[in-house]
Chain A
Amino acid sequence: MIVDLPNTTTAKVSKALVKIREEGGAVALGRVLTLVIATEIGHEEEAIEAANDASREHPMRVIVVSHGDDVGEAGEPRVDAQIRVGGDAGASEVIVLQAHGAAATDEEGLVTGLLLPDAPVVAWWPGVAPAVVSESPIGRMAQRRITDASSQPDPLSFLQHLEKTYAPGDTDFAWTRLTLWRAQLAAVLDQPPYDPVIGVEVRGSEDSPSTGLLAAWLGLQLDAPVSHEISKRGTGSSGIHGVTMVRRSGTIELERPEGNIASLTQPGQPVHDVSLPRRSLRDCLAEELRRLDPDDLYGEVIKRGLARLAAPVEVASTSAPAKGLHK
C-alpha cells in the first residue's frame, strides 16, 4: 500500500502512520532499527529496493530524506511525503520525504519525529556523502554511518578523506564488498602449513577503493610488505583482480579474472574454483545492519592500515595480471 501525502509535515506523517497501523493490524511491531537514507530527489528507488530486500533479514523503518538542487533557495519551501507498507515495502515500512527549498535545510528536524523509540538509527548515503559524516545532522543521530566510496567522484582520494574524518560507527561499502574475499583468505590460513606470510601483492583496477582497503587490511594484520598494483580501467574487469600471499612453503593465489568464479591456487593442492560473486547492494546493506556497534577493525584498517601502505603502483594494463613478487 502506498499513501501519498503532498505538502505535509512530519507530525502529519506520524499521524498517518498510526492510522495505517490501526487499520491494517500490527504492521510496525518488531521493527528493530530505523534506517535513514539521505539522497537526492530521483535517486531514491535503488536504495529503497535494497533496503526492502534487506528488511527480510532486519525488519525496520526506512526514512528516505531526499532533496533537489534547490536546498535553502528562495523557491517554495515544502515537504512531500509518501508512506509505503505491506507488499510495497518488504518487511519494512518506508517513509519518503522529499524536501524543497528552505524546508530542506534542517534534515534533523525533518527526521527526528519519525525515528522509532529506543531503537538504533543507521544512516546511509548511497550517493555523495557529506564532508564529515559523523558531524552531519543525520550522522550525529546515527549509531552507524554508511558511505559508499565507489559512488564518490574520486573513490581513491575519498578513502584518504575517510581516514582523516573517521569516527567510531563509520563504515563504507568498499569494506563490506571485501568480506567474501577476506573470508576466503582467512580460511586458507586456518589450514596447515602454519607458515608466516612474508609478502603480499594485491591487484585491482584504479577506481576500486576496495582493492586499497584489502591491501591495507592484509598489511596491517600480517605485518608484511604489501604491494598494491592498479591497472587502468578499460582492460580487465573492475574491482579486485587478485591477491598473492607469499610464504616460504609456497605461494597462495586467489584470482578473479572476470565473472563470479575465482581460482584459488595453493602449494600441494589442486587449483580450486571458488564462487566469489560481486556483492549486491542488498547483501552489503544486510551485512552492515547485522552489527550495530562500531566496526573497530574497519577503524584500524582505515586509520593505521592505509597509512602504512605505499602508494599504488600502476602497471601496464594487460589481460594477465602482473605477478611482480615471484618473478
Chain B
Amino acid sequence: MPVDITPDFNPLRAPTDRRLNRIAGPSGLIIFGVTGDLSRKKLMPAVYDLANRGLLPPGFALVGFARRDWEDQDFEKVVYDAVKQYSRTPFDDDVWRQLAQGIRFVSGTFDDDAAFEELAKTIHELDAHRGTMGNHAFYLSIPPKSFPVVTEQLRRSGLAAPKDDQWRRVVIEKPFGSDLATARALNDVVESVFPADSVFRIDHYLGKETVQNILALRFANQLYEPIWNSNYVDHVQITMAEDIGVGGRAGYYDGIGAARDVIQNHLLQLLALTAMEEPVSFDAKDLRAEKEKVLSAVRIPEDLANFTARGQYSGGWQGGEKVLGFLEEDGMNPESLTETYAAMRLSIDTRRWSGVPFYLRAGKRLGRRVTEIAVVFKRAPQYLFEASQTETLGQNALVIRVQPDEGVTIRFGSKVPGAGMQVRDVTMDFGYGHAFTEASPEAYERLILDVLLGDPPLFPRHEEVELSWKILDPIEEFWATQGQPEQYRPGTWGPESADAMMAREGRVWRRP
C-alpha cells in the first residue's frame, strides 16, 4: 500500500533522517527599497548564498521594486554585482544562471497604482512561467512612514490575499515604532492587511548563531542552569558597543538615539533569552511565551536620574583618526538632544532573578565593536585565603561573546605557580571559530529561509515589541526632561555618569 502523504507528513522526511535540509517551497521574494544598502549588502548576497547551498527551490523569483528606470537586465546586473562583492560562499556560474532566470524588476513609486498593477502582473507571470505557485514574501526594506501606503497598495492590487494552498507574507525591519503608541499604530497598519502570523519582524540579532547558542548553552547543559539564578549570580551586564559614529545616518538617528535604536530590540531580546525560564519546547509559541513572561516582569529603576545614564560622543582623536563629534556630524541638528550612549539598570521581578540587577549599555564611538552578555557571579566566601592572597581575584564570570570573535569565556581564579598561595584570575575560552571552523551562515540567510519556510521562532511577535516599549517609554520620557546629554570622548567606554551609576552599587563595568 502506498504511504499517504499529507501537509504534515512527508514519507521522504523520516524523523531519523538527519541529512536532509529543508528546502523552501516554490516562492518569490519581492523587495521594496531594493536600492538601499541593506538590500545590496545583506539581502541579495543572502539570497545567492541560500541558492548556492541548495536551500532555495528551483521555482524561486526575486523581484525588485524601486523608483528607478531599470529593465530586468539592469536590476540583474545590480544583483550580480552585489552578489560578487558581498556573498559569503564562492561564486558559481550554474547557480547564478539558475537564480538569474527568476530576477525581475518593477519600476514605480509607492503611490503609483499602475506600478502595483505591473507588479501584480509580473507576479502572476512568474507564478505561471517560473513556477512560484502563488507563494510570495514582501520584504519592506523601506522607512516605516511608507508602510501604510505600500501595504494598502498590496491590498488594493490583491497581492496580499492568497488563494488556497498559497501563502503571502510580509517582512518588516526595525524600527518597530519609536514608542508604544507609534509601534501600535504601525502594527495596526500592517496587520490590517496581513494576518498576525504572516508578519515576520526581522531582528537580525536573533538570526545569529551565537544568540541561538544561548538556548543551547543554557538548556542543553547541566553545568550552568543550577547556578543561573540569584543564589549565585551577582549581576548581569549586556553590552552592545560600536566604534563608529552615526555617519551618514545622522538624519535618521536624530530623535531616535541609542536606546530606541538597539536597546529596545537587540538588547532586550538578549536579556529575554538570558533571563527567561526554560520553554516547554522550541516551538515559536512556547519560546515567545517565555520571552514575553520575562519581559513583562522587567522593572525600571525608581530613581531614573541615578540608575540610567546617557551621553553624546564629542569630537577628538579615536585610534589615530580625527573624528567629528555627534553634534558636528554632517546633516546633524547641532542642538540635538539625542543620546549616542545609553545605559540603564533593570531588574526582573521573578524569584529566579530577585535582587539581581541587569545592566544594559549601548553606544557609538566606544572603545571597540563588541556585543556580549556577561553573567557575573557572587564572590565565594574567602575565609580560607588571606586578603593579600586573593587581591587580584575578581568575581567569576561567564561571558557570551555575541560578536565579533563569537564564543564563550569563563573567568575564574587559579593558583599562581610558585611558592605560596596566590590566586589570580584566569580565563577558559571557547571560540566558535576553533571548534566549528566553517563560517557560520549570515543571520539574514537563516532569517530569509525561515520566512520562506514559514518558520516563526526567531521572529519577535508584536506583543514582545509592545512589552519592550513599555519598558523603555518611561525612561525616554524622563530623559526628554533632562536637557543635553553628557559628552564623552570618542574611543572611550562612555560618559562618567555611567560609571558612577555602577559605582553607586559598588560595581564596575567590565571592559569588554
A interface residues (Cβ-Cβ under 8 A, vs B):
29-30, 32, 55-59, 91, 176, 179-180, 182-187, 189-192, 194-198, 218, 221-224, 260-261, 264, 269-270, 272-275, 277, 286-287, 290-291, 295-297, 300
Contacts and interface: CB of A to CB of B under 8 A. Distances in A.
A274 B10 contact: no
Contact of B12 (A32, A182, A296): A182
Contact of B3 (A184, A187, A221, A273): A221
Given A189-B10, A190-B25, A194-B6, 8 more contacts: A189-B5, A189-B12, A224-B3, A270-B131, A273-B58, A295-B18, A297-B14, A300-B16
14 contacts: A57-B438, A59-B434, A91-B437, A179-B19, A179-B20, A186-B23, A192-B165, A218-B12, A221-B3, A223-B2, A261-B98, A272-B58, A273-B58, A275-B94
Contact of A186 (B1, B12, B133): B12
B59 interface: yes
Most buried by B among A179, A187, A221: A187
B114 interface: no
Contacts of B4: 196
A182 B20 contact: yes
B57 A187 contact: yes
Contact of A182 (B1, B3, B19, B437): B19
B11 A221 contact: yes
A196 B5 contact: yes
A198 B5 CA distance: 11
Contacts of B435: 30, 32, 59
Interface string B415-440: 00000000000000011001111100
Contact of A30 (B12, B26, B431): B431
Contact of A264 (B6, B20, B58, B434): B58
A186 B19 contact: no
A197 B5 contact: yes
Nearest to B58: A272
B21 interface: yes
B220 interface: no
Contacts of A287: 19
Contacts of A277: 94
A183 B14 CA distance: 12
Contacts of A186: 10, 12-13, 20, 23
Nearest to B9: A194
B52 to A, nearest CB: 8
B480 interface: no
B3 A223 contact: yes
B12 A57 contact: no
Nearest to A217: B12
B130 interface: yes
B7 A224 contact: no
B54 interface: yes
Interface of B: 1-7, 10-14, 16-23, 25-26, 54, 57-59, 92, 94-95, 97-98, 101, 128-131, 133, 165, 430-431, 434-438
B3 A57 contact: no
A270 B130 contact: yes
Given A189-B11, A196-B4, A197-B2, A272 B131 contact: yes
A291 B18 contact: yes
A222 B12 contact: yes
Nearest to A92: B437
Given A179-B19, A187-B25, A222 B3 contact: yes
Most buried by B among A58, A91, A269, A291: A269
Ranked nearest first, the 7 interchain pairs of A and B with the lowest CB-CB distance are A30-B434, A272-B58, A57-B438, A186-B12, A187-B23, A196-B2, A269-B131
B98 A192 contact: no
A142 B437 CA distance: 23
A6 B101 CA distance: 57
B54 A183 contact: yes
A297 B26 contact: no
Most buried by B among A59, A91, A185, A190: A190
Given A30-B431, A224-B2, A297 B16 contact: yes
A269 B131 CA distance: 5
A57 B54 contact: no
Contacts of A55: 437
Contacts of A295: 16, 18-19
Contacts of A56: 437-438
Contacts of B21: 183
A275 B18 contact: no
A7 B59 CA distance: 60
Nearest to B18: A291
Nearest to A179: B19
Contacts of B26: 191, 269
A176 B19 CA distance: 9
A186 B59 CA distance: 15
A260 to B, nearest CB: 6
Given A56-B437, A264-B58, A270-B59, A191 B133 contact: yes
Contacts of B20: 179, 182-183, 186
B11 A222 contact: yes
Nearest to A294: B16
A29 B434 contact: yes
A176 B57 CA distance: 21
A218 B21 CA distance: 17
Nearest to A175: B19
A275 B98 contact: yes
